[in-house]
Structures are given as C-alpha cells and as structure tokens.
Amino acid sequence: MTDAPLSLQDFTSLLSQFHGEAAPAIDAASDADALEAVRTKYLGRAHGWLKDLSAKLGQLEKTDRAAAGAAFNEVRLRVEATLETRRVALTPARVAGALADPTMPARRQWTGAVHPVTQVIDEMIEIFRELGFTVALGPEAESPWYNFGSLNFPADHPAMDLHDTLYLADDLVLRTHTSPVQTRTLQGYAPPIRVLIPGNVHRRDPFDASHAPTFAQVEGLVVDEGITFADLKATLTHFANRFFGKTKTRFRPSYFPFTEPSAEMDVLCGVCHGSGCGVCKQSGWIEILGSGLVHPAVLESSGVDSEKYTGWAFGMGPARTALARHGIPDIRLLYDSDVRFLGQFAK
C-alpha cells in the first residue's frame, strides 16, 4: 500500500507550522544549552522536524517538487538565520552583567624590561664593583668652577662657550660631563679612591643620529699612591674583556684638559671583527672611552697632594656603547620609548 500523494498546499502548510513553532522557540532559548536543545528538536540532522519535512518532499507529485523545494529552502534559511542571531546574542560578552568571554584567547601580558642604556650602566657598575669601586653621584646643576675650573679648563676654553654649554644663570650650568663629581669626591674623601660615577649630562648638541642634547655618562676615578698608566691600561682592558667578551683593545693618544697623558680606548668591532663594516665606519675598531692620568692641577685644586698621590680616570657614553653592542644605527631610537623597538633588547 502506498501513501496518497501529498499536495503542495499541505506541504506549505506544514512548512508554516514548522516556522511558526521553531522561530519563537529559538527566540525563547535563555542560554546556550537551551538553544542547543531547540536546534536539535527543529534542525537536528538525525531526527529533527526539518529532516521529517525534507523526507515528505518525496511524497509530492513530481510537478510540485520544484516549488515545494524552493519553499522548503527558504524556510530552512530563515530558521537557521534566526538561530544564528540568537546564538550571537547569547555569547557571554553580550549578556548584560557578564564581565568577559571565558572562551576568548588570552591576551599577551606585557612586562617591563630594563632599557638597553641602563643595561650597559648596570653591567659596568657590576664589573667595577668586583674591582673594589663604589658608586658616587653628584648634582646636575653645577657652578662653572666645579664643571670647568677645578678640572684644569683654561679660562678661555671653547667648551665654556654658550654654543656648547647650557647656562641656567651666570654662575650655574647644567653639567657637561660627570667630571665635577671627581672634584667633589676628592674634596670629600681621602685616598685611596676608587669610584664609578654614572649620571646624565647636558650639552648644546643637535639631536641627530649620533648626538643627543642630554645623555648618560659613566666616569671612573682611581687615586692612590704609586698609580701609573699601567694600572689604567690593565683595568680598562679587563673591563673591555668582561663587557664585550674576549676582545682586542688599543689605546690612541688624545687630549683632555683634566688628564695628562690622555688616551682613547678602542675595542675590535664586534660586527666585522676588524675587517671593516658600516658600524665601525670601515676602521675595524669602535671607540669606547676616553681616559688618562689625572692632571696634577686637578688633584691640587681639590687639595690632594700631587707629589704623593697619582691617579687615572676614564669617561664613557653608555648610549654609544649600546649602539655599538647591538648595531643600532641611530641614537634617537634609544629616546623614542617605542616598546616594539626596545622590547628586542629585553633580557
């Protein structure tokens, strides 16, 4: 026995009945579990109501099947759209009072890191601390005597010119180097002295790829009986090998008002190992610091007997050192506070 053919009118009436029940049931679902139960009842692939309706398509007269199929698909799409709308509305972030969607992927946790220039300063302090140095600090606003006079600058030295130095008042400058702390240390403490002096200094320099008007400096001072250039060379070579890994150093004669003799120290370029590259300007060497034996006039201006005591000093720019160490082409990158750039050097 075969069933009597289903009329198109009966079929569309079944579709309306289906839609008339399914849509309000979906809208009434109050959470994800309820919605899933409704979905299974009406749209489930195994036993859902829609599945039964699709089976009834076969009972239609062949001439009615195209129209019935189109009506069926239209209702199916409308109910599926209603379901999707409700599903989005029920996601936890959309529910009033919900704080967050626990199914969202976790966000990356940002943590702070030490700036590459501060890393250089911290490592220097650590290396020199092992050699018996202590840290000394001093004011950034100084009298011209501390900044220049006590350090054997002649009265007409060009560094004292308004072009190079920032004057806060006639008798007050922003220190152009950390060397005034040498004077303050010599005035305040009797030898033997071994100090490391980190701090910011200020100059009327342009802000370009290799200059900044405010920058950090680290200075060292040793004063004792019997100190010679050999002490300077041995200590700074030891420092270079500790800081850069085993490397070669060379000392070139130089001139500073506060040291005599004076020398600049270079280390072998860590990028090309001496063959010449852009970082070392094809020389194979990177200049790291200036140094020299403390000029007797500097000792005397602070009341230290230069017949009894000798000493050596050095000064270094940790920003330049950070550039050389990481092959950074422009010093301004160290001032931009762009965490995408700085994060590369986090330890």
The residues binding Zn ion (CB under 5 A) are 269, 271-272, 277, 279-280
Least separation in angstroms between residue 275's CB and Zn ion is 7
Which residue's CB is nearer to Zn ion, number 221 or number 268? Answer: 268
Region of 212 on the Ramachandran plot (φ > 0 left; ψ -120 to 50 alpha; else beta):
beta
Please give the residue whose beta carbon sits closest to Zn ion in the complex: 269
Closer Cβ to Zn ion, 14 or 271, answer by number? 271
List of residues 6+ apart from 187 with CB closer than 8 A = 302, 303
Please identify, using beta-carbon distances, which residue of 272 and 342 lies nearer to Zn ion.
272
Least Cβ distance, residue 244 to Zn ion (angstroms) = 13
Q: Please, what is the minimum distance in Å from the beta carbon of residue 285 to Zn ion?
A: 8
CB of 105 to Zn ion, least distance (A): 44
- Our CB check for Zn ion shows the closer of 227 and 267 to be 267
Rounded to a whole number of angstroms, the minimum distance from the CB of residue 272 to Zn ion is 3
For Zn ion, the closer of residues 38 and 279 by Cβ is 279
Q: Indicate the residue among 236 and 269 with the shorter CB distance to Zn ion.
A: 269
- 319 to each of 6, 160, 209, 216, 326, how far by Cα in Å? 87, 24, 12, 7, 11
CB 330 to Zn ion: min, Å? 17
Question: Of 171, 179, 170, whose CA–CA distance to 151 is shortest?
Answer: 179
Distance (Å, whole) CA 20 – CA 238 = 88
Could you please report the per-residue DSSP string of 244-311? HSS--EEEEEEEETTEEEEEEEEEE-TTTTTS--TTTTTSSEEEEEEEEEEPHHHHHHTT--TTT-EE
- Cβ neighbours of residue 64 closer than 8 Å, sequence gap 6 or more: 7, 8, 11
CB-CB contact of 286 with 264 (8 Å): no
Q: In this structure, what token pair is assigned to residue 53?
A: 């309706």
Structure tokens at 32: 């994800």
